[in-house]
Amino acid sequence: MPANGNRLLVPYNIRDLSPYVAGKTIAEVKKEYQPPEVSKLASNENRLGCSPDVEPQVIKAMQEIQDYPDPASLQLRDVLADINNVERENILVAAGSESIISILCRTFFLNHEEAITADATFVGFFVQANIRGISINKIPVTDDYRYDLDAMADAITERTKMIYIANPNNPTGTYVTASEFERFMRRVPDDVLVIMDEAYFEYAREVSDYPHSLDYDYDNIITLRTFSKAYGLAGFRIGYSIASKRIISEMMKTKLTFEPTTPAQAAALAALGDQKFLKKTVDTVEEGKKRLYQFFEKHDVSYVPSISNSVMMILPDEQQAIDFTQAMLEEGVILRRINAFGLPNCVRITIGREKEMKHFERSFEKVVKTQEY
């Protein structure tokens, strides 16, 4: 049968979609530039790795690899429920926060509805919303690179179904304070979902005015957490959401049945049990940020103080950001230029181990001899 010449093969929202572009891998940099050492400070991973307790549990889980994973992640959800003082039915586990964002988009949106978020935030939300064909109202961040919650509340209309807030924000490292969040929530209608993406919660939770979203009794808040950052399990792709039982039950209907994998569930359980490693991770990041702040101040570099595990460096213009990241890449330091996040003149630096931060400093000083910032 001949094809209908008037039929689109690919919908407009997919055809025009800009896919998420990840940073270069260590293997790619070694092959392309052959530097004497490589420090991957681009993707906000845990540069310490993960808890030593993870490996034996993953090896044990491999004995069951011929069987499908537990589709409900019962054991992991029970542990998470206990830690977070909720019930199992309040929790959904999936293959990372981005998978959960995808679940949210396909579960709750009608075709005419829209989302509100900041213009400089996690690009993964933009991608998943655009896949669903959702209109996004992007509210500019403030002059100090923070969410403008008052402007976001002003933007709510009858079409608004969801508001996405990354707290701390990626890529800026800034955060919404408790008083700002409380004032904002008083203005949000009950039928508008508020997504609190707390991927960097473990780094931020001790900050005095940082709002723990689970402490608030709102049925329209959906909290996202991940094992990819502080727990060092990015390669396993596992995260979770906490919300009302009604919301979770609806999300369960559209979640891919057998995610996350058996080894991923085992890794997450092991990671949760090693709080000593988690503390070491947080302490390492705090020490690394202080060191980087001092280094930047010594070299008169503009930056944004952060409560996550990365720091955003501000350059005068986009071309200097391009030149800087390329020059550092050739030195073996992988950084993240964040033009895709709406900040073309900024570069994000993940806090690494002491050896990696020294490599960053040496390479920076070498690069700035030929470039002025």
Distances 219 to 28, 83, 167, 244, 328 between C-alpha atoms, Å: 45, 20, 19, 6, 46
What b/e readout covers 254-270, taking b as 16+ CB neighbours within 10 angstroms?
ebeeebbbbbbbbbbbb
- Reported as type and span, the H/E element at residue 15 is helix 12-15
Q: What is the token pair recorded at 81?
A: 């429920």
pLDDT score at 33:
84
Are 209 and 179 within 8 A, CB to CB? yes
Q: How far apart are the C-alpha atoms of 152 and 183, rounded to whole Å?
A: 12
pLDDT score at 14:
82
Task: For residue 268, give the 3-state DSSP assignment.
Answer: helix
pLDDT score at 342:
87
The structural domains of the chain, ordered by start, are 12-49+276-367 (3.90.1150.10), 54-272 (3.40.640.10)
Burial of residue 253 (number of CB atoms within 10 Å: 0-12, 13-18, 19+): exposed
Distances 79 to 76, 197, 225, 268 between C-alpha atoms, Å: 5, 20, 14, 10
- State the DSSP string of 187-220: TS-TTSEEEEE-TTHHHHTTSTT---GGGS--TT
pLDDT score at 341:
87
Residue type, 275: Q
Distances 240 to 39, 83, 86, 246 between C-alpha atoms, Å: 29, 13, 13, 16
pLDDT tens over the chain, length 373 residues:
555 656 778 887 788 877 767 777 889 888 888 888 999 999 999 999 999 999 999 999 999 999 999 999 999 999 999 999 999 999 999 999 999 999 999 999 999 999 999 999 999 999 999 999 999 999 999 999 999 999 999 999 999 999 999 999 999 999 999 999 999 999 999 999 999 999 999 999 999 999 999 999 999 999 999 999 999 999 999 999 999 999 999 999 999 999 999 999 999 999 999 999 999 999 999 999 999 999 999 999 999 999 999 999 999 999 999 999 999 999 999 999 999 888 999 999 999 999 999 999 999 999 987 766 5
Q: Which of 152, 151, 153, 208 shows the shortest CA–CA distance to 175? A: 208
pLDDT score at 370:
73
pLDDT score at 320:
94
